[in-house]
């Protein structure tokens, strides 16, 4: 069985929920405290054994490439001024993985960027991670999916339980439990109505896929909204065998693609920080009395 070495991170979308900020800043680069959201996603991948990170971008996303590159001028400044801890943290960013960039081409939809990476993936199984969603868990969510893949040798995606009212924002699977926290997914519905949702599990942005997903995506008719959806491509793979769903164990899911959830993410992550958590908690108590 091939080792999962490569991960695709789609990052070409407009992120219109965050306009006007994202007119000049990629939504994946919006900071969670002092690091962009996409860095948490890359860390999840690297901690799961990924070596090559393929980021699918557009012409307005050059800031992502710059971030994961060396900045020799900044590094020289930090070294000259004795800011060695910051210097080391800057240098670590570019060394996290092998970064490969692809420009997105083709119809709208989250299946298109995956298809754009086919020539780099080849015939290997691979991971997909959305650039604005991450989970803090002792065992990375992608590693949990990889463990299921290695057991069943079939595609796997991660999911978390969310309130039913929130399911309209996510892909939702119809599931059958096969072992604790592991399910067979009989169907995936992209952004269902509350009434359509077949479970209370929402896809939280990590997938392990086999290379036959590319043929499935190429042969898809446009789905909801006239777009090419990865979930529809995964549904096609069910003809060849079961698709698995791993409910993420431990930690907390954060969705930085939604304005309110993004604000909550910053608040919660700040409260967890050793350097600012206590002070920030006291500030929230004080300001809540004033407003």
* Same-domain check for residues 269 and 132: no
Instruction: State the total domains in the chain.
Output: 2
What sign has the CA pseudo-torsion 186, 192, 198, 201?
positive
DSSP 126: E
* Same-domain check for residues 228 and 275: no
Residue 154 has pLDDT above 90, yes or no: yes
Residue 24 lies in a domain: yes
The Cα–Cα gap between 197 and 161 comes to 12
Q: Is 53 helix (H, G, I), strand (E, B) or coil?
A: strand
* Same-domain check for residues 274 and 147: no
* Same-domain check for residues 75 and 133: yes
Residue 1 has pLDDT above 60, yes or no: no
Residue 1 lies in a domain: no
DSSP 248: P
| pLDDT tens digit sequence for 69-113 | 999 999 899 999 999 999 898 899 989 999 999 998 877 888 899
- Which has the closest alpha carbon to 61: 9, 17, 124? 9
Specify the CATH number for the domain of residue 78.
3.90.550.10
Residue 129 lies in a domain: yes
* Same-domain check for residues 213 and 281: no
Residue 90 lies in a domain: yes
- Which has the closest alpha carbon to 39: 134, 114, 153, 159? 134
Q: Is 229 helix (H, G, I), strand (E, B) or coil?
A: coil
Task: Return all residues near 190 (Cβ < 8 A) that are at least 6 apart.
Answer: 171, 223, 224, 229, 231, 232
203's enclosing H/E stretch is: strand 201-209
| Least confident window among 11-15, 42-46, 115-119 | 11-15
| pLDDT tens digit sequence for 238-285 | 888 999 999 999 878 998 988 999 999 999 999 999 999 999 999 999
Section 18-47 average pLDDT: 93
Helix-then-strand count for the chain, H and E: 11, 13
Domain span at 63: 6-257
Long-range contacts, stretch 160-165, CB < 8 angstroms, 24+ apart: 160/135, 160/201, 160/202, 160/204, 160/247, 160/248, 160/253, 161/200, 161/201, 161/202, 161/247, 162/200, 162/201, 162/202, 162/253, 163/200, 164/194, 164/197, 164/200, 165/194
Residue 82 lies in a domain: yes
* Same-domain check for residues 163 and 275: no
* Same-domain check for residues 252 and 266: no
Q: Are 121 and 5 in contact (CB under 8 A)?
A: no
Characterize 39-61 residue by residue with b for buried, 16 or more Cβ atoms within 10 angstroms of its Cβ, and e for exposed: bbbbebbbebebebbbbbbeeeb
* Same-domain check for residues 188 and 233: yes
- Enumerate the H helices of the chain as residue ranges: 37-47, 62-67, 72-80, 84-94, 112-116, 118-121, 141-152, 213-218, 230-237, 259-272, 277-290
């Amino acid at each position: 069985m091939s080792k999962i070495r490569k991960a695709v991170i789609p990052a070409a979308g407009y992120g219109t929920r965050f306009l006007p900020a994202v007119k000049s800043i990629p939504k994946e680069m919006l900071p969670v405290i002092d690091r962009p959201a996409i860095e948490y996603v890359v860390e999840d991948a690297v901690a799961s054994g990924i070596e090559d990170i393929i980021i699918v971008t557009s012409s307005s996303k050059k800031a992502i490439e710059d971030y994961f590159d060396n900045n020799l001028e900044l590094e020289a400044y930090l070294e000259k001024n004795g800011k060695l801890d910051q210097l080391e943290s800057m240098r670590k960013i570019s060394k996290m993985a092998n970064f490969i960039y692809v420009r997105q081409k083709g119809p709208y939809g989250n299946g298109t960027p995956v298809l754009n990476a086919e020539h780099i993936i080849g015939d290997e199984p691979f991971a997909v991670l959305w650039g604005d969603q991450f989970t803090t868990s002792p065992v990375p969510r992608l590693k949990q999916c990889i463990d299921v893949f290695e057991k069943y040798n079939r595609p796997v995606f991660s999911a978390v339980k969310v309130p039913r009212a929130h399911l309209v924002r996510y892909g939702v699977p119809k599931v059958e439990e096969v072992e604790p926290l592991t399910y067979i997914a009989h169907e995936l519905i992209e952004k269902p109505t509350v009434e359509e949702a077949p479970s209370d599990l929402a896809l939280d942005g990590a997938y392990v896929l086999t290379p036959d997903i590319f043929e499935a995506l190429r042969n898809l008719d446009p789905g909801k909204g006239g777009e090419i959806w990865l979930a529809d491509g995964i549904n096609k793979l069910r003809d060849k065998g079961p698709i698995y769903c791993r409910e993420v164990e431990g930690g907390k899911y954060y969705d930085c693609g939604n304005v309110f959830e993004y604000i909550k993410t910053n608040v919660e992550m700040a409260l967890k920080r050793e350097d600012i958590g206590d002070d920030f908690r006291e500030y929230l108590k004080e300001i809540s009395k004033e407003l």
